[in-house]
Structure 1
Amino acid sequence: MEKFFKKVQPHSGKILATVVIVFFSYLAYNLYHAPVSGFENKFVYLLKQYGYIILFAWGMLEGEAGLVMAGLLSHTGDMSLYIAIFVAGLGGFAGDQVYFYIGRFNKSYVHRKFKGQRRKFALAHVLLKKHGWPIIFIQRYMYGMRTIIPISIGLTRYSAKMFAFINLISAWLWAAITIVPVWYFGEEILKVLHFLKEHWYFALPFAIVFGGSIIYYFNKATQKKDKNYED
């Protein structure tokens, strides 16, 4: 594993970009040629046909929205609950392994690219030193640190095998904690979604607040990044 990452390290960015482009081009092609009419029906068809592939990719990005989708599809019988948890967990595991090895074999790149995140890296090192392996287990629930912590651990001499083991168990638990409640309360969630679809104007204020929060967050993040670079 380590020899492989050392070999592909100089081309890792190009490889990742190529894989992402090919994957989304494939999904876009199948979405366009789906044998149903209407964008919504086409999207549902795509999820039903390629749900596990999409779920794995979404899991790598550690997006809870993908896991919610899997929970609903498991409730309707279009996915297997156990396979969905297994695949989503593998995706989350693979994503953090990539971040870990970026830190392990791209130290100069990390220090250059994440120059504005020095405080977060310092905090991650302190947390790892103080709490040990549990910090690996709970890092998925730490907003703003989910990418930083695996990379930060990769920068240290922490055992790659131990990290992989804890990461795998953590990823499967993360997937189960998110997917199972959605599967269990699927009928109620579908009713709410149907209501919002029929009465979309009720959701408009929430969309405005949510969109405003995102804009505010990115503005604050940009200002903080600029300040860090000035420092």
Structure 2
Amino acid sequence: MEKLFKKLQPHSGKILAVIVITFFSYLGYNLYHAPVSGFEEKFVYLLKEYGYIILFAWGMLEGEAGLVMAGLLSHTGDMNLYLAIFIAGLGGFAGDQVYFYIGRFNKSHVHKKFKGQRRKFAFAHLLLKKYGWPIIFIQRYMYGMRTIIPISIGLTRYSAKMFAFINLISAWCWAAITIVPVWYFGEEILVVLEWAKEHWYLAIPIAAIFGGSIIYMFNKATKKVERKVVNEN
């Protein structure tokens, strides 16, 4: 794995761009040619037909919205619950592995690209030094640090094999913690979504307030941990 990344490193940006463009072009083509009418019906068809592919890509981006959709599709029987967790976890694992190897084999680019994020990188190094491997396990729940921590660990001499093992277990736990509750309470969530569809003028501000509150709480908790770790060091 490491030898492969070393060979591909000089062309990593171009390769990633080609993969992303190809993937979204593929989805766009199938969305346009979906054998149903209406954008909403086409989107639902796309999720049912290519759900696992989309879920893997969404998992790489560590987007909980994709996992919520997987939970709902598992509830309706359009996805297998265990397979959805497995694939979403693999996506999350693959995404963090990419970030890790960016830090491991492209240090000069990282220092240049993330010049304005030095404080976060310093914080990530302090977290790894103070807490060790558990920080790899919980970094997915730290707002604003999801990308920084895997890259910063890659910059150190931390074992690539150990990171991969912990990262894989963490990714599957993250997928299960998100998907299973949505699957279990799927009927209630579908009722709420139907209400939101009919009363969008009320649902939009409520969703904005709710989502903003969650982001604020996670951001506040992360900053609190940062102050504590910095003061102790």
- TM-score normalised by L of structure 2: 0.89
Task: State the superposition RMSD in angstroms.
Answer: 1.6
CA positional deviation for 1:207: 5.4
> What amino acid is aligned across from residue 100 of structure 2 in structure 1?
F
Q: Equivalences for 1:44-83 in 2 at 5 Å?
A: 44-83=44-83
> Does 2:182 match 1:179?
no
Distance (Å, rounded) in 1 between the aligned partners of 2:79 and 2:28: 21
CA positional deviation for 1:135: 0.3
Distance (Å, rounded) in 2 between the aligned partners of 1:209 and 1:76: 28
Distance (Å, rounded) in 2 between the aligned partners of 1:178 and 1:19: 27
CA positional deviation for 1:48: 0.1
Residues 14 and 73 of structure 1: is their aligned pair in 2 closer, same or farther, counting only changes over 3 Å? same
Gaps of 5+ in 1: 214-231
Question: What is residue 34 of structure 2 aligned with on the other side?
Answer: 34
CA positional deviation for 1:32: 0.2
CA positional deviation for 1:91: 0.1
CA positional deviation for 1:160: 0.2
Residues 75 and 203 of structure 1: is their aligned pair in 2 closer, same or farther, counting only changes over 3 Å? same
Residues 207 and 131 of structure 1: is their aligned pair in 2 closer, same or farther, counting only changes over 3 Å? closer
Distance (Å, rounded) in 1 between the aligned partners of 2:207 and 2:156: 41
Q: Secondary structure at the match of 1:98?
A: helix
- TM-score normalised by L of structure 1: 0.90
Distance (Å, rounded) in 2 between the aligned partners of 1:212 and 1:94: 28
CA positional deviation for 1:208: 5.8
Question: What is residue 2 of structure 2 aligned with on the other side?
Answer: 2
Q: Secondary structure at the match of 1:163?
A: helix
Q: Equivalences for 1:124-203 in 2 at 5 Å?
A: 124-203=124-203
Distance (Å, rounded) in 2 between the aligned partners of 1:211 and 1:74: 24
Distance (Å, rounded) in 1 between the aligned partners of 2:8 and 2:82: 34
- Per-residue CA deviations over 1:32-76 (Å, capped at 9, x if unaligned) read 000000000000000000000000000000000000000000000
Question: What is residue 113 of structure 2 aligned with on the other side?
Answer: 113
Gaps of 5+ in 2: 214-233
Q: Secondary structure at the match of 1:144?
A: coil
Q: Secondary structure at the match of 1:34?
A: coil
Question: What is residue 23 of structure 1 aligned with on the other side?
Answer: 23
Distance (Å, rounded) in 2 between the aligned partners of 1:178 and 1:210: 17
- After TM superposition, what 4+ stretches of structure 1 lie above 4 angstroms from structure 2? 207-213
Distance (Å, rounded) in 1 between the aligned partners of 2:68 and 2:177: 11
CA positional deviation for 1:199: 1.6
Distance (Å, rounded) in 1 between the aligned partners of 2:111 and 2:141: 24
Residues 201 and 66 of structure 1: is their aligned pair in 2 closer, same or farther, counting only changes over 3 Å? same
Distance (Å, rounded) in 2 between the aligned partners of 1:135 and 1:81: 28
CA positional deviation for 1:145: 0.4
Residues 85 and 105 of structure 1: is their aligned pair in 2 closer, same or farther, counting only changes over 3 Å? same
